[in-house]
Amino acid sequence: MKGYSQEEQKQYVDGLRRFESRGIPIYIDGTIASDKDWAKIFQVREDGAFYMCDYVGGDEGTLKEIHFDRVYNR
């Protein structure tokens, strides 16, 4: 699996922060994302776990929330 460069990770997180600035909350492991949490969404753990993104829609096709949850590749 190809890793993401520091610049690619920064660009992705900057994009997520733009959603936050529009009032769309972003959750990592069920809690609101903080600056210390962003790096872990790019990690693949030794046990095969990684983070998957889920976009939660609201009324009329709007984006309501973004969730990152740990999943396992078995």
Q: Quick: pLDDT tens for 19-49.
A: 999 999 999 999 999 989 999 999 888 888 9
**Does the residue 51 lie in any domain?**
yes
Per the structure, the count of domains in the chain is 1
pLDDT at 1 over 60: no
Q: What does the pLDDT read at residue 45?
A: 84
Q: Which of 71, 66, 73, 74 is nearest to 20 (CA)?
A: 66
63 - beta bridge partners? 57
Query: What is the C-alpha to C-alpha distance for residues 60 and 74, in angstroms, rounded to an integer?
Result: 36
Query: What is the C-alpha to C-alpha distance for residues 24 and 5, in angstroms, rounded to an integer?
Result: 26
**Does the residue 36 lie in any domain?**
yes
Query: What is the C-alpha to C-alpha distance for residues 7 and 46, in angstroms, rounded to an integer?
Result: 24
**Does the residue 38 lie in any domain?**
yes
> Mean pLDDT throughout 5-12?
93
**Does the residue 66 lie in any domain?**
yes
Spatial contact of 33 and 27, defined as CB atoms under 8 Å apart: yes
Q: What does the pLDDT read at residue 74?
A: 63
Mean pLDDT over each residue of the chain, to the nearest integer: 90
Q: What does the pLDDT read at residue 2?
A: 59
**Does the residue 46 lie in any domain?**
yes
